[in-house]
Structure 1
Amino acid sequence: MRSIDIPKTSQLSKTITMSFEPNKDNTEQQRTRFLSTNPTYPTIPKTESPTSFEKREWVKSTRATVNFASPQRVTATKQFLATSKNTTVDDTEKAFSPTTRPSTSFVPIVPRMWIATNKTPSKDDICKLPELYKDLNLFVTSPSEWLEKSVLDQLPFYGVPKELKVLVCTWNINQGVFSQDVVNTWTQYISEGADLVCAGVQELDMSVDALITGNKYSEKADKWESLLLTSLNKTGRDEYVDSGWYQLCGVVLFTFVKKSIKSLITKTGIGSCRTGAIGGTLANKGGVVIGFQIYDSTICFVNSHLAAHQGFLERRNKDWEEISKIRVEYLSGAETTRLNVLDHDIVVWLGDLNYRIDLDDQEVRKLVVEKDFNTLYRNDQLYTSRMKKKVFHNFVEARLNFLPTFKINQNGEYNDKRIPSWCDRILYKTERRHGVTVEKYNSFELYNSDHKPVSGVFKVCLQQINQVKKKTVIDFFNKAEEWYRNVVVPEVSAPVTYFEFKEPELMKSYSQTLSIRNIGKTRMYLEMKKSKEYEDAVQYSWVKIDMSTDHVDITEGKDEVLITATVNYNQNNSFLYQNKEACKFVFEIAVKFTKHVIPMIIKVFPKQTCVGLSLNELCLLNTPVIGMTSNVYDKSPFYVPKEVYRIVDKMKSLREDELEYLFQFEPNEKQFNDVLQAVDNDLPFRTGISASSYFAVLLLIVAGFKDSLLHDDFLSQIQVMSQNEVMVKRYLTYMMLESHKNLYVFLVKFISNLILKGVDKNRLLDVFSKVLIHTQKSDTDLITSCYNFLEKSLQIL
């Protein structure tokens, strides 16, 4: 008996210490009760793959727990759909299998004569060949993926599909060595005629020495190999020989093969990874890998023991991630090649994965009695983690039609201190048109450990390659690649790339739309490139850009993308209205997968108004912002801007009944513009204008100061300054600029006047706290501090 590439020395054997000696009764007495009759459950239609079933169950689980229209529901569905798009090949129609019709010649999607003559096709030529158009689009997004797909599409020409049947078994044996009858029950699916057998055990040797050294060999592993080999050869129909085993502490992976086909294995590789306690130093958890090259395909088996306990889900996911990074070492003479676990053509992952069921213990036991496997499965941690793309990416698991395998007492009942769970699992993944079909996947009623064993029979589709023919195919596509590159050069028509908004009115939205047309021969993928400052900065809050689609086809009606720019100067960004730098925005439309970009410019030419000027500018202005006036003013600078003074003076003259509905109605648009025009031109106010219209213009002017009334450099101190009246008074007396203090005191007294006339105090403080600083609605903490500052100012002024 041998372990792969691990020499057995007598010295090493002497260091092995047995920490557990199985009870003779347990070893001799057969404790088996095979669940021969499947429990009743809704069956999967034969045409439905495991992936389709998982998709249906995932949607059911989100419907059961989340409102259908909620964001969580939408996100959950998107998460699954994102997962299912790249799922592993499970259906034989996608895999290269014996049912695939062979081909005596290879026929690429692009006409071979076009490549030979280097023909430049027209757009019409391509539109007549939809498959070629799809192929060109794939080349645009990923030339490497296109090349791999193109070569694999010709497998019927240069490859021959080969099928092997694989028996996969896993069992956490809790350091036991069981009787031959028990092992025979576990491996009974050998009667299905498996060509290759992989048996993984966990917790074989958990001695202190093994935990520290991560033993790569133990006498107990030898005993298990002997038991397994005897079991496989019990029928005498086929002779099985060991093809190596590999051990890391308690995790051992045994492989056996029919003697008649052993010569098909041309390479063998191994690898291991510790993920145990003390940051992976100990080997109580981890994984081992054995890989083979059979025909021209690679297949590897991973046996792992992941982190235990209900609440350690993220630790289990991390363990999987670490083990999946193992690089399997293949020795061929003096040369060593390494292949990542997940890069093999077929990966079969087995073991005590320790994923639990996230339901209350009593609920789980009730569902177990009812054999409601669907509900249990929808709450299984491994299933939900896979659907969220956290682990086992692109892996597939056959439907679980057996009872949870953990934690079992010697009498076959579930342990009272653990929630019954499917800890023991077998999953698989395929690449490059390889296929796997599940023929059996079951657990056995063996109670020699606290886990029940699991076994599965899988039919795998491998490939035998005619290398000469394959080289012919590769040479053709290498030549075709240059032709594809010339065809997919993007061609764009964008006659106008400049948005111009002249004198947009405040508090209104304006939109303009430009078009970009695809005049090339392939789909064009676009991406809007904006600086990070655009996403975060208040200075760009006045502009919004939308793109109608991120990809543009070549067919009429689908060959155009619309770029819409919308500008809106409102109370939150009115201080930018007169800022020449802020009224210009530059962005780019990038053609993805290329270096081509289309620069776009948005330019705003604001109308002349008092909104957006600084407080000092308005105080120094003794003429109207627009035109001339017959009014005579005292020498400037003014105590407060005349525009603010006029509106406040007008509102003070209003009766209580006119102020009663100040916050009840939205300001009338025409009245709002009339008031703003009156203060800009220094004209008398029209009669019949509502209080809300005057008030809206006042708030806009105050919010629109280039420098906020409460200085920007005060914002970092405002939370401290607004804590008590003493701090507020200190700031007003010693720290505030004179011009700002004058206006602030003027407004606070105006607020007091409105309160005396019955206007709601809280509403007044709320609206003014949002215009005293340059802020956004999301700055709730800052707005709250301004509110407190205003409230204390009312008490001291």
Structure 2
Amino acid sequence: MERGINFPNGDDGATASAPEKTTMELVQQRFKSDERVHLIFEAYQIKGPEHVEGLLTLVSSLSCGTYAIISFSPLRTPLRASNELKIDQVFPITKSFQLTKDTKGSITEQQFDLSTDDDGPIKYYYHTFKTDIESVDYEQFVAEVYSCKSLMWTAETLNFMWLDDYREIGDRKQELKKRLHQCIVYKDLIIYCATWNVNNKPCWDGSNESLRPWLARGKNSPDIYAIGLQEIEKMSKVMLNANQLQLQWVTRMLSNLHDGNEYEEYKTVRLSTMMLTIIVRKRLSKYILRSRINSVARGVLNTFGNKGGVAVSLEFKDASICFINSHLAAHMDYIVERNEDYKGIEEGIKFGDDGGPYRTINDHDHVFWLGDLNYRISKSDQISDCNILDLRLQRDQLLDEMSKGNCFNGYTEGQIRFEPTYKYEPGSDRYDTQREPAYCDRVLWKGRRIEQMTYNSVMEIRQSDHKPVYAIFKIKLKTCDENKLKREHEKWLKDEDKRENESQPQIVADPILIDFGLVRFNELVIRDFKVSNKWVKQVDFLFKVQPSLNGICEKYVHVDPRDASLLVESERFISIKLMIDPKSVSSLLKKICDTKSKFDFDVLILHVKDGRDIFITATGKYQPSCFGLSMETMCRTDRPISEYSQEEMRSMILDVSPEYRVTMPREFFLLIDYLHKQGDSLRDLFQSYDRRQLLSSQFNAVRDWLDTWSEEEFPGTPQTAAEALLLLLDLPEQAVLEPFVDDLMMCKSKSEAMELIALLSPPKRNVFMHLCMFLREGVERNNYELSNVAAIFGRILLRSSKSNITTDYQNRCTEFMRRFIIETADPVAGGNGQRVATGAGLQT
């Protein structure tokens, strides 16, 4: 069966999955009906060390007749829904719109810029192959964009109002960027760059010549050292003892640095006879987020690496720093070869993981290039001119080639005020008469906020035919003020939240905290709150169903209305009724016991359609009452229950100890005692019972009489007392004969049942036996019919959550009670061994 076929009658088609939408269809869903997506071009941006995939969409408005490119970031790939596309940038294709390819120092050759009068240039990169069948390639993209632009060149006015909705999203992101930019601060960082061609001399030659004149110059201790060596020994030795040789040089460097700070080797990279070592202060190494190395071999067949470059890339806080140590082609006339070596190193060194985005040398904030560059001083007929520093520099090949744009484009070199560093007779300060002196050893830099403090050579070190060179820099390192960033981000989130609220349907509820005060059993309390429409259109709302409650609220709470609509600038009142009655008191007591912190009667969720929910809290206090409490709880009281607080009542309910202050609840005894004294007025008293029926008008007076242990006369009638007695037995969460109800129903005789009843808690056992004697006496006096009271009390005392309330079950309950009412034996002993009196006071 093919996907997507419609079945008019629903046969079989109900289970067929809908066809997945294409990328083009999902992107089109982000736009209005009169806006058309012409093409999609896959492009990505580089943000810090990461690359972020994106979709550039060419869109037009049919009503306005104008075009734009809108940049999206997909939240996932492949897309599954249109809401997974987030707008990054909007580029209206105006007369000033530009799409230009950038080939200078790009991370890849596939780099281009988008710009308008208001935005840009914004850099994007494209893949060399399409990853989505619907995406066009770069040439198609450019051709289509400029075709659209040419259509508008002759138009006098261009209408881009349709972009306002999309710009707002982009503008908000730009606002965040501006805020984050304000959190950028620049901190001073001292960088010490040093280079030396050691002329294949061993690291330790017995003289133990100190390197401190080279590595410990300047007043301030550096934060980072970048030390480059060339020709560190003969190639054969290097191949045999590479690790040992590297360790010797690093050890010697570390022992000759500035005093007063702890330094550590952070990274070393070697290529044949070249080595670059990065040394940092120990306390700063934790701020280096990532480091990468690379190298490019030049020289003989560009393979053996006797020439070339080694480099280290550091991500230091929020800035990127690159160090390159190179050894370029030698000899006076090899200028072109040196230039080619430079270009080969610049193009070949890339930092990144295989297959992922990478960073080139020129993609760093700060670049330092040092080494034996081997550029010479061109020969002159005026030999004596070689003694004049300025005339030498005029013939310096490096400065000449840089001025022509043949090498080191964009780099800067500090003013040279020292003698040529090559070529000396080893062990002396005398030039080798066979070679023209030259400034072979150089330090250059590239980037912003870099200040060179010192640039010099070191004559005191005579081990090689080159003199060491060093340069000290102070850079302004870009870093983020974390505290300020957090504050700005929180402000932006609040503004976004406010903006989002204003754009959504919304109503105002007043108040959202509703205090019901002191709530009593079987007393209705009503509170109202007002809802007002503060939006520009009609707003619909309803109270949300809460799965944990199987409804919108607790059983004792009633809301009117549950849903409604509000016209613009209108308002209405919503009524919340709170009634703790026989049907809901167990739910309330359970909630009180389960609430460990502040107790609230309920929290209602007022849901605004297409808007945010409003939480309405119903709070207050419950006045404890005997109705709903277990026999054990009532036997733990030492004063009337009305004198207990809600928290004290909770503690008594949760108390599971077998200690009781009385053997039977006083409230139960008071009702039985009153009914016992009524004589013939009890006739036909227990005819029916339903906890869902409304209680009599005198019930609340009886409630107060029981909850206060009043010594006044009973305030009701025998019917009210019977009503209260049945509720007292029926409302506790657990029946009087639990936990043995099911076992009692299986008993074949009264004696067998008595063995289980003896295992009940003393309060339950005494209440049951006392009740049976009371009912037996009433039946013997013909005050009520045996079958009626056996059915009513049997159903209450033997109610069980485990059993189905069937006709057979009810019959068995009735038969069980008949046995105990007709043949009631002497009452069993109470919890303290005393007999329970029938018409007198309670034993304690």
Which TM class, normalised by the smaller chain length?
Answer: 0.3 to 0.5
Q: TM-score, normalised by structure 1?
A: 0.38
Give the TM-score taking structure 2 as reference length.
0.36
Q: Which structure dedicates a bigger proportion of its chain to helix?
A: 1
Bigger-Rg structure (1/2): 2
More strand by share: 2
Higher relative CO (CA 8 A, sep ≥ 6), structure 1 or 2?
1
